[in-house]
Amino acid sequence: MSPVKATHSEAAGALRPVASVPLSHVSIEVGHLYMEDFAPGQTDLTAYFRRLAPWVKLGTEELTAGQKRPRVSTCFLVDDYFRRSFPPGAVLPAVIDAAAEAGLTIDYIARESACAEAGGVPLAPLVRSRLVAEPPAGTNGSRPPVTEVGWLSNGMRSPSTGLEAMQAGKAWQPPTENAARNHSVFMDIELWSGDTGAEKWSCAYLAAVWQLLRLGVLRFEGKPVTALADAPASWPDSWDDVPPVVRLNERADPFSAYRTLSVMTNRFLATEHAVRTILGQVEVDPAVLRDVDGRAENEQLALPREIIERISYVFLGGGPLSA
């Protein structure tokens, strides 16, 4: 168990304990699939992981260059939030065995549902409480806050040109991206739908929580937000009975890490663009950030100041499971 350190939390405005969590140098996500992708069976899964394996190796080498004893953990996130077409006993052994056949070791399996709530900790609302939406230049406050409507933007959309009868026409104006480089790439991202307390969180939003978990920067009342469970002797019948994060490899390096790398096919490119936009508007607890940055400095690691710059990707072309 990591020691509890007393640090000053600017968010709370008073001293309170903030726990450290063990950290690897890199957390590598070895692929991501939808629940329906498990239908073809283990042979196709093995082919999928074989495509990813060389890129996992290259990414590991690039992100751990200069480390005498690199700490690297691998993980796989199972999409059990939006669909549960197959039980854990059908999906998890197939994934683990297929990765092993492809030469990949999966150290940790996590459930996407755990990015919404894990062990009684409301992770998705917790991250929402730390959203600091960027006010686009020239706005007048007419757009409701993201915490009310569940939509986050990286700029200002094209104003409506709807006219009432006899009203003078207005010239069309383009959408604009905040801090655009020469030209804009405008995004409007739905974070959740539904009423407070019954939210349906979006894939992009849960993926943003997933990145924060892997970076080890989430705390609930100063404590770590996920407890790691060892793999059971047999997988339960219900996804609800699978722990949020399961350690498959007892010799694995820590689950969370200073940096993350996700290797996946490019059908998730738009989602991950949204993830980066969301994380660019999340204020990580300064006390936690100081703890992580201080430990990196003690290890003579130079971490980027911005959280989103600690996240790397490899996107592969082709279909979900085939080249």
**Confidence at 6, pLDDT banded by 50, 70, 90:** very low
Higher pLDDT, 235 or 66: 235
Identify whether the C-beta of residue 91 lies closer than 8 Å to the C-beta of residue 36. Answer: no
Residue 216 CB partners (closer than 8 Å, separation 6+): 21, 23, 254, 256, 257, 292
Average pLDDT over residues 196-211: 96
| Residue 13 clears pLDDT 60, i.e. is over it | no
Q: What integer pLDDT is reported at residue 174 of this predicted model? A: 87
**Confidence at 159, pLDDT banded by 50, 70, 90:** confident
Q: What integer pLDDT is reported at residue 17 of this predicted model? A: 74
- Report the alpha-carbon distance of residue 254 to residue 22 in Å, rounded: 6
**Confidence at 148, pLDDT banded by 50, 70, 90:** confident
Q: 264-307, pLDDT tens digit by residue?
A: 999 999 999 999 999 999 999 999 999 999 999 999 999 999 99
| Residue 11 clears pLDDT 50, i.e. is over it | no
108: tokens are: 């940790």
Higher pLDDT, 174 or 322: 174
Q: What integer pLDDT is reported at residue 320 of this predicted model? A: 73
Nearest-CA neighbor of 30 among 91, 103, 87, 124? Answer: 103
Q: 210 in helix, strand or coil?
A: helix
62: tokens are: 């690039």
Average pLDDT over residues 300-316: 96
